[in-house]
């Protein structure tokens, strides 16, 4: 770990007396504190103010800088209040229009002033004009470098930021932290004369003040070698810190857990109503190998919805329990904990009983008494399995001997919560093994970058006998038609999920509420009977219902006694009712892609052919947004979770993907995983070598790029 102060360290005593100005505060908020932070704050784009264009030679639509004398300055009221300034550059006249302006504008642009204005030239009946050009008084020489435009925030003018960045650039230590042999091996850095790679100092000076002869395109698409150098630096910092986290973890100890012949693990396998798929066997072996070591496991188990992650988790739990340890299972919500782990608990409970062991549930809604009993069973070690929500990591929970923690839907948990879970054991002098599960497969580039400190096991095969789900798009205007068809489907004994986005009428969003839909479907299915003569029932499930009611509704649906389940997105993850074969998602255009895929994964779990209907409601102009269209199209085109994840990454970028991990974790600012894979591969290959060969430089590099932020990567 870099042991230097984080970037927000207190300023020296003298500075503390003086309150920060608004722009200083804004700088701090952007994390621009140390000179190096400023030096690494790179332009978004550039403006060319090095040249003047004569209006007589200009072309319509060009962005140009002109210089001239103001010959008129007046406020017009029609067709809209605006400031109209006439500028004469000696070759022609141009009207500058400002729709928002202050008295200071009028003063600076008063008749007789010589100014430079920069903007897009428009032609027209009345000659040239520019709308809201940038302008300044025409004093001094033209700049000889392109003018950088920096990412900024409210209260931080570009001019102030430019000065601050240049000052940072002068003061920061810019010495290279990447050894020459590593740079030589990096693709794309060596276009400079003689094949010498760009140094950090050269690259930074160049990017902050590029000369006007540089093709703007190479700067703006960031393919220029100076940009490549910066991106390589950034990716290397990320890889170094993750390698370091991995190394530090490898110095900690965890209990070695081995499956015993004839033990719980084998008993569980024998009791299962199915045989494992090859993919399940493979990942179960990977996990078993980790558990048998004294280095704490730090593994992500990923697999598409329905791929059968739960049984793999149960096998790991069996090994830990068999060895006399405790296992904790966490899911983000109560209903998910129940739905997802219900099966696992059902498998293990009968096997635990003969050993005098129990299962403890910890949930928010428990009575004090029930909770106290659970806490006691956990502390005494009688509870071999502890299942619940965040309640599992609360202060009062004391484990007897926790050896394995399983976290479902890991992206929904915050870093702090994962750290707290691990801390549960550290006072005992060991770390728990950690297995995180996710139904949102992480695209390869993300796994290589943000998740480089995790080992990943992938279930890439669905259990046999599943028929692929057919996905259909349907405009909301054809809702009645859909309901009529559902009636026929239900009459044939099919079970239907109907997912609504909101439970209360919200005028602003105009979403249909689940309660109204429930009433509507109940009416539509009136008089319909199942084969056994019992009436086809429509149930309602939403997040504000008491836990016991939710449970009762789910139980009825799971038993087949209920034909249609109208629900808000509480069913998103973890619900397992293999007989359900129709999924209707209302306002599908409002859901994220991975959420849609998760919801769709609730059907297609049994042998019946399943359908997923995506009802969408275009806006008043009859249109869907581009990204909504992309999401719906992706759903129709593929059922493959990896392909969905890849497209989701394209549509939303990595920030959303990383979920809770993103908060506080430094996202890549410059590198783009879609285009910079070559640099990522390079950083991945060199990070461990640099940590071995030049640890001091490696630490300096991390400190420069990550400051105090690298702690987050360890969770
Ligand atoms: P997920 O990966 O989404 O958590 P689950 O673990 O809930 O998937 O499994 C989905 C369904 O498939 C469950 O009903 C489970 O019992 C069943 N299942 C799991 N593995 C197999 C298998 N090898 N053969 C048949 N069914 C299986
Ligand atoms: Mg699951």
Atom nearest to 408 CA in ligand 1: 4
HEC string of 178-210? CCHHHHHCCCCCCCCHHHCCCCHHHHHHHHHCC
40-79 per-position pLDDT tens digit:
999 988 888 888 999 988 888 888 999 999 999 999 988 8
Name the CA radius of gyration of the chain, rounded. Answer: 31
- Which of 121, 122, 126, 145 shows the shortest CA–CA distance to 51? 145
pLDDT, residue 426, reads 58
pLDDT, residue 6, reads 43
pLDDT, residue 97, reads 93
Query: Containing domain of residue 527, as a range?
Result: 469-638
Q: Where are the beta strands (DSSP E) in 402-469?
A: 402-407, 433-438, 455-459
445 in contact with ligand 1, CB cutoff 6 A: no
102 in contact with ligand 1, CB cutoff 6 A: no
C-beta separation of 70 from 138 below 8 A: no
**Residue 220 structure tokens:** 């703006």
For the CA of 441, the nearest ligand: 1
Residue 222 covered by a domain? no
For the CA of 273, the nearest ligand: 1
Atom nearest to 280 CA in ligand 1: 23
- Do 335 and 375 share a domain, yes or no? yes
Q: Give the contacts of 189 (CB within 8 A, at least 6 positions apart).
A: 183, 197, 198, 225, 228, 229, 232
Q: How many domains does the chain have?
A: 3
pLDDT at 512 over 90: no
pLDDT at 85 over 90: yes
- Do 433 and 525 share a domain, yes or no? no
Q: Give the contacts of 181 (CB within 8 A, at least 6 positions apart).
A: none
Distance between Cα 363 and ligand 1 center (Å): 25
pLDDT, residue 395, reads 66
Dihedral, 125, 126, 130, 136 alpha carbons, nearest 10: 170
Q: Give the contacts of 555 (CB within 8 A, at least 6 positions apart).
A: none
469-511 per-position pLDDT tens digit:
999 999 999 999 999 999 988 888 889 999 987 544 554 443 4
Distance between Cα 300 and ligand 2 center (Å): 13
- Do 557 and 617 share a domain, yes or no? yes
HEC string of 579-624? CEEEEEECCHHHCCHHHHHHHHCCCCCCCCCCEEEEEECCCCCCCC
pLDDT at 17 over 70: no
- Which of 544, 542, 571, 545 shows the shortest CA–CA distance to 558? 571
512 in contact with ligand 1, CB cutoff 6 A: no
Q: Give the contacts of 623 (CB within 8 A, at least 6 positions apart).
A: none
**Residue 19 structure tokens:** 């309150």
From 308, 316, 437, give the residue whose CB has the most ligand 1 atoms within 8 Å, as the site to mutate.
308
Residue 483 covered by a domain? yes
- Do 345 and 298 share a domain, yes or no? yes
For the CA of 307, the nearest ligand: 1
Residue 8 covered by a domain? no
Distance between Cα 457 and ligand 1 center (Å): 16
C-beta separation of 283 from 458 below 8 A: yes
pLDDT at 10 over 50: no
Atom nearest to 605 CA in ligand 1: 11
298-331 per-position pLDDT tens digit:
899 998 878 899 999 999 999 999 999 999 998 8
202 in contact with ligand 1, CB cutoff 6 A: no
99 in contact with ligand 1, CB cutoff 6 A: no
Residue nearest to atom 13 of ligand 1 (CA): 308
Percent of the chain whose predicted confidence (pLDDT) is above 90: 41
DSSP notation for 128-185: EEEES-EEEE--SPPPSSPEEE----TT--HHHHHHHHHHHHHHS-----S-HHHHHT
CA of 102: how far to CAs of 98, 130, 133, 257, 473, in Å? 10, 18, 15, 73, 52
- pTM greater than 0.95: no
Mean pLDDT of 359-384: 89
> Residue 591 — pLDDT band, cuts 50, 70, 90?
confident
CA of 682: how far to CAs of 179, 181, 232, 448, 672, in Å? 13, 12, 8, 11, 14
- Do 481 and 442 share a domain, yes or no? no
From 338, 410, 463, 581, give the residue whose CB has the most ligand 1 atoms within 8 Å, as the site to mutate.
463
Distance between Cα 383 and ligand 1 center (Å): 25
Q: Which of 406, 424, 459 is the last residue of a domain?
A: 459
From 275, 282, 306, 581, give the residue whose CB has the most ligand 1 atoms within 8 Å, as the site to mutate.
306
Whole-number Å distance between alpha carbons of 612 and 591: 14
Mean pLDDT of 34-39: 92
Residue 138 covered by a domain? yes
Q: Which of 614, 638, 662 is the last residue of a domain?
A: 638
Residue 622 CB burial class (10 angstroms; 0-12, 13-18, ≥19) = exposed
35 in contact with ligand 1, CB cutoff 6 A: no
Q: What is the CATH number of the domain that holds 625?
A: 3.40.50.300
Residue 708 covered by a domain? no
C-beta separation of 69 from 88 below 8 A: yes
Atom nearest to 275 CA in ligand 1: 23
pLDDT, residue 575, reads 64
**Residue 341 structure tokens:** 């782990």
Residue 627 covered by a domain? yes
pLDDT, residue 709, reads 52
The interaxial angle of helices 22-29 and 158-171, nearest 10 deg, is 60
Distance between Cα 439 and ligand 1 center (Å): 12
pLDDT, residue 410, reads 62
Segments in 21-141 forming alpha helices (H) = 22-29, 35-39, 103-108
pLDDT, residue 549, reads 86
Residue 389 covered by a domain? yes
Q: What is the CATH number of the domain that holds 98?
A: 2.40.50.140
Atom nearest to 303 CA in ligand 1: 2
For the CA of 460, the nearest ligand: 1
- Do 273 and 134 share a domain, yes or no? no
Distance between Cα 436 and ligand 2 center (Å): 11
- Do 446 and 375 share a domain, yes or no? yes
> Residue 548 — pLDDT band, cuts 50, 70, 90?
confident
> Residue 36 — pLDDT band, cuts 50, 70, 90?
very high
pLDDT, residue 206, reads 93
Residue 259 covered by a domain? no
- Which of 644, 661, 300 shows the shortest CA–CA distance to 458? 300
Residue nearest to atom 18 of ligand 1 (CA): 308
The DSSP 8-state label assigned to residue 535 in this structure reads B
> Residue 2 — pLDDT band, cuts 50, 70, 90?
very low
pLDDT greater at residue 505 or residue 398: 398
pLDDT at 412 over 60: no
> Residue 696 — pLDDT band, cuts 50, 70, 90?
very high
578 in contact with ligand 1, CB cutoff 6 A: yes
Q: Give the contacts of 369 (CB within 8 A, at least 6 positions apart).
A: none
pLDDT greater at residue 474 or residue 662: 474
CA angle 140, 145, 149 (to 5 degrees): 100
Atom nearest to 307 CA in ligand 1: 2
C-beta separation of 619 from 477 below 8 A: no
Residue nearest to atom 4 of ligand 1 (CA): 309
pLDDT at 204 over 70: yes
Distance between Cα 441 and ligand 2 center (Å): 13
User: Among 12-16, 123-127, 682-686, 696-700, which is the least confidently predicted range?
Assistant: 12-16
- Do 501 and 372 share a domain, yes or no? no
pLDDT at 689 over 90: yes
- Do 455 and 488 share a domain, yes or no? no
Q: Give the contacts of 467 (CB within 8 A, at least 6 positions apart).
A: 604, 607, 608, 609, 610
- Do 447 and 474 share a domain, yes or no? no
Q: Which of 441, 459, 477 is the last residue of a domain?
A: 459
> Residue 8 — pLDDT band, cuts 50, 70, 90?
very low
pLDDT at 279 over 90: yes
User: Among 109-118, 241-250, 678-687, which is the least confidently predicted range?
Assistant: 241-250
Mean pLDDT of 200-223: 87
Whole-number Å distance between alpha carbons of 658 and 638: 22
Distance between Cα 351 and ligand 2 center (Å): 22
Distance between Cα 127 and ligand 2 center (Å): 67
- Do 269 and 289 share a domain, yes or no? yes
Mean pLDDT of 267-279: 93
- Do 474 and 445 share a domain, yes or no? no
C-beta separation of 137 from 109 below 8 A: no
Distance between Cα 182 and ligand 2 center (Å): 43
Atom nearest to 601 CA in ligand 1: 3
Residue nearest to atom 15 of ligand 1 (CA): 308
**Residue 509 structure tokens:** 């969003």
Segments in 292-387 forming alpha helices (H) = 309-322, 334-352, 368-380
pLDDT averaged over every residue in the chain: 84
Distance between Cα 308 and ligand 2 center (Å): 7
605 in contact with ligand 1, CB cutoff 6 A: yes
The DSSP 8-state label assigned to residue 296 in this structure reads P
**Residue 340 structure tokens:** 């997802």
**Residue 648 structure tokens:** 């989701």
pLDDT at 420 over 80: no
pLDDT at 292 over 80: yes
155 in contact with ligand 1, CB cutoff 6 A: no
């Amino acid at each position: 770990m870099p042991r230097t102060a984080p970037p927000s360290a207190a300023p020296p005593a003298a500075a503390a007396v003086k309150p920060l100005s608004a722009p200083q505060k804004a700088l701090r908020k952007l994390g621009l504190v140390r000179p190096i932070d400023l030096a690494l704050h790179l332009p978004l784009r550039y403006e060319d103010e090095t040249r003047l264009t004569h209006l007589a030679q200009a072309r319509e639509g060009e962005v140009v800088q002109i210089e001239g004398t103001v010959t008129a300055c007046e406020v017009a009221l029609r067709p809209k209040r605006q400031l109209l300034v006439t500028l004469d550059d000696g070759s022609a006249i141009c009207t500058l229009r400002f729709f928002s302006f202050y008295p200071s504008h009028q003063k600076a642009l008063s008749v007789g002033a010589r100014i430079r204005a920069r903007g897009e030239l428009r032609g027209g009946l009345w000659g040239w004009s520019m709308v809201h050009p940038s302008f300044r008084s025409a004093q001094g020489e033209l700049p000889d470098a392109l003018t950088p435009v920096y990412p900024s925030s409210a209260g931080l003018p570009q001019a102030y930021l430019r000065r601050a960045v240049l000052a940072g650039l002068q003061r920061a230590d810019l010495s290279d932290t990447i050894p020459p042999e590593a740079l030589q091996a990096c693709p794309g850095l060596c276009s400079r004369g003689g094949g010498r790679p760009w140094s950090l100092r050269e690259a930074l000076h160049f990017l902050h003040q590029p000369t006007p002869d540089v093709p703007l395109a190479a700067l703006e698409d960031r393919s220029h070698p100076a940009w490549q150098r910066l991106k390589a630096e950034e990716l290397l910092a990320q890889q170094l810190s993750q390698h370091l986290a991995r190394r530090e973890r490898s110095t900690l100890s965890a209990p070695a857990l081995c499956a015993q012949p004839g033990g719980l693990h084998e008993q569980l396998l024998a009791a299962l109503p199915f045989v494992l798929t090859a993919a399940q066997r493979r990942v179960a072996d990977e996990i078993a190998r980790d558990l048998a070591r004294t280095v704490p496991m730090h593994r992500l188990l990923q697999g598409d919805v329905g791929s059968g992650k739960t049984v793999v988790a149960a096998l790991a739990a069996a090994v830990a329990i068999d060895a006399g340890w405790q296992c904790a299972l966490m899911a983000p919500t109560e209903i998910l904990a129940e739905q997802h782990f219900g099966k696992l608990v059902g498998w293990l409970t009968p096997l635990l009983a003969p050993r005098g062991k129990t299962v403890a549930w910890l949930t928010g809604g428990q009575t004090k008494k029930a909770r106290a009993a659970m806490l006691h069973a956990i502390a005494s070690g009688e509870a071999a399995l502890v299942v619940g929500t965040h309640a599992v990591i609360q202060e009062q929970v004391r484990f007897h001997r926790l050896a394995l923690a399983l976290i479902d839907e890991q992206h929904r948990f915050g870093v702090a919560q994962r750290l707290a879970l691990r801390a549960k054991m550290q006072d005992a002098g060991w770390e728990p093994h950690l297995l995180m599960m996710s139904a949102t497969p992480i695209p390869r580039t993300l796994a290589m970058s943000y998740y480089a400190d995790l080992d990943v096991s992938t279930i890439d095969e669905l259990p046999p006998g599943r028929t692929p789900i057919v996905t259909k798009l349907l405009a909301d205007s054809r809702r009645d038609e859909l309901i009529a068809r559902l009636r026929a489907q239900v009459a044939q004994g099919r079970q239907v999920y109907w997912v609504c986005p909101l439970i209360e009428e919200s005028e602003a969003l105009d979403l249909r509420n689940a309660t109204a839909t429930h009433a509507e479907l109940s009416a539509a299915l009136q008089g319909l009977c199942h084969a056994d003569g019992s009436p086809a029932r429509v149930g309602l499930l939403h997040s504000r219902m008491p836990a016991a009611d939710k449970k009762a509704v789910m139980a009825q649906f799971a038993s087949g006694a209920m034909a249609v389940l109208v629900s808000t997105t509480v069913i998103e993850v973890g619900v397992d009712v293999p007989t359900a074969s129709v999924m209707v998602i209302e306002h599908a255009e409002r859901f994220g892609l991975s959420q849609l895929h998760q919801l769709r994964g609730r059907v297609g779990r049994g042998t019946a052919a399943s359908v997923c209907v995506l009802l969408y409601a275009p806006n008043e102009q009859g249109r869907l947004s581009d990204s909504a269209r992309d999401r719906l199209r992706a759903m129709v085109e593929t059922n493959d979770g990896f392909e969905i994840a890849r497209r989701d990454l394209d549509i939303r970028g990595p920030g959303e993907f990383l979920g809770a991990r993103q908060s506080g974790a430094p996202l890549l600012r410059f590198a783009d995983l879609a285009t910079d894979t070559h640099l990522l591969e390079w950083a991945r290959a060199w990070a461990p070598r640099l940590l071995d060969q030049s640890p001091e430089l490696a630490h300096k590099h991390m400190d420069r790029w990550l400051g105090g932020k690298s702690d987050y990567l360890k969770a």
